[in-house]
Structure 1
């Protein structure tokens, strides 16, 4: 499984959304499943999937599907 697939799987598991969801349109507080509890579950899924630690400084920057990719790239994750 490549990193983009791992990333989408984290969203599927963390937010309990369907595999065919419109991931690119997902936003914290806008997407029904992405509330504060969903956000923390998603953070845990990403930390496990990519073996990273996301501290509170970067968690606040993570509020869209794309911003999560950008954040992980800054932490050294390659999305090719």
Structure 2
């Protein structure tokens, strides 16, 4: 459930189809995921999962797979 929710967040924040939101999707690998979209993505993740990401985690969140790994540190399971 959390994985689908996160996939939807990525798709919405980046303005892409959910079908391209796979583990290998990485920051700057698509035109839509630039620094501005990254901050929008972080904002929606924090709001929808009711968490506050550390600055290091914001910087490290470099792919869909990494996002799941980082959110695991906040008690979310995928």
TM-score (norm 1): 0.88
Is the 2:27–2:33 Cα contact (8 Å) retained in structure 1?
yes
Q: Which runs of 5+ in 2 are unaligned?
A: none
Unaligned runs of 5+ in 1: none
Does the 8 A contact of 1:28 with 1:64 survive in 2? yes
Preserved CA contact (<8 Å) 1:27 1:63? yes
Aligned residues: 78
C-alpha RMSD of matched pairs (Å) = 1.2
Write out per-residue CA displacement over residues 20-60 of structure 1, whole angstroms, 9 at most, x where no aligned residue: 22422211112211100110011011111211101212111
Which aligned segments of 4 or more residues in structure 1 are displaced greater than 3 angstroms?
none
Task: Give the TM-score taking structure 2 as reference length.
Answer: 0.90
